[in-house]
Amino acid sequence: MTVRQVIELAKASELSGLSIASKDDVILGFINIGVLELYKRFTLKVEEYIVTLEDNVSIYKMPDDFMWLVTAYGEVDSRSSELVNVLPINESDNPLSVNTVSWNKVQIPVSKNGSYVSLIYVASPAMYSLTDIDDTLDLPAQMLEPLLSYIGYRANSAIDTGVQTEDNAWYIRFENSCTRVRTEGMINSNDMFTNGRIDTRGFV
């Protein structure tokens, strides 16, 4: 489904009768925030970033779409019987841990010049502008219902600022939709961690 189709669907349903339905730019803003909220709640996009280690360097910048670390892999020593060298992440008391030190940087304490570390991370969604509304929305079809409820929540909150979030009927629908996606297994996040790319470059 394209971004334009989501906008039109929201106008015909959740935003029907609201003056805000005529403002595509505002609706698009709600879509962007809603998609980001769903990406934070569910593991919808996982990427791999290969870091080439350098001498006397421990802090490395992550890609712009970095949200948080999932797994880290170091190179496997040819003399080792281990098939995978999994590195600990965000364990402050572990000297070998790969740690997130800021919103876009990680610390890799083990530095061997020219070696590699594979970082698997949850990636953020694309943000859309009015020039992108004919692009396909980067969201699974089963997430459409929660997204529309979130758009309804944002639109109604903008009109009636006196209603608390937890009392907003649209927000309750959004929460219920997310719960249904999770409990009915509509999203299988485990599949996203099966990343064939780490089978190369000596990581496995």
Residue 58 is classified by DSSP as -
Task: Using the CB atoms, write b or e for 160-170: b if 16+ within 10 Å.
Answer: eeeeeeeebeb
What percent of the chain is predicted at pLDDT more than 90? 70
User: For 167, how many CA atoms within 13 A lie in the half-sphere containing its CB?
Assistant: 5
Residue 124 is classified by DSSP as P
Nearest-CA neighbor of 195 among 75, 71, 90, 108? 71
- Each residue of 167-183: pLDDT tens digit? 688 899 999 999 999 99
pLDDT at residue 75, rounded to an integer: 82
DSSP-assigned states of every residue in 131-172: GGTTSBPSS-GGGHHHHHHHHHHHHHHHH-TTS-GGG-HHHH
- Each residue of 26-39: pLDDT tens digit? 999 999 999 999 99
- Each residue of 3-60: pLDDT tens digit? 999 999 999 999 998 999 999 999 999 999 999 999 999 999 999 999 999 988 999 9
Gap between the Cα atoms of 198 and 190, Å rounded? 16
pLDDT at residue 194, rounded to an integer: 41
Gap between the Cα atoms of 8 and 95, Å rounded? 53
Question: 23 to each of 14, 16, 28, 107, 147, how far by Cα in Å?
Answer: 14, 12, 9, 44, 18
What mean pLDDT value characterizes the chain? 86
> Does the CA dihedral 156-160-162-163 come out positive or negative?
negative
pLDDT exceeds 50 at position 203: no
Residues 6 or more apart whose CB falls under 8 angstroms from that of 167 comprise none
Widest CA span in the chain = 69
pLDDT exceeds 60 at position 189: no
* Range 119-147 average pLDDT: 96
pLDDT exceeds 90 at position 81: no
pLDDT at residue 93, rounded to an integer: 92
Structure pTM?
0.83
- If phi > 0 it is left, if psi is from -120 to 50 it is alpha, else beta; for residue 185 that is left
pLDDT at residue 198, rounded to an integer: 40
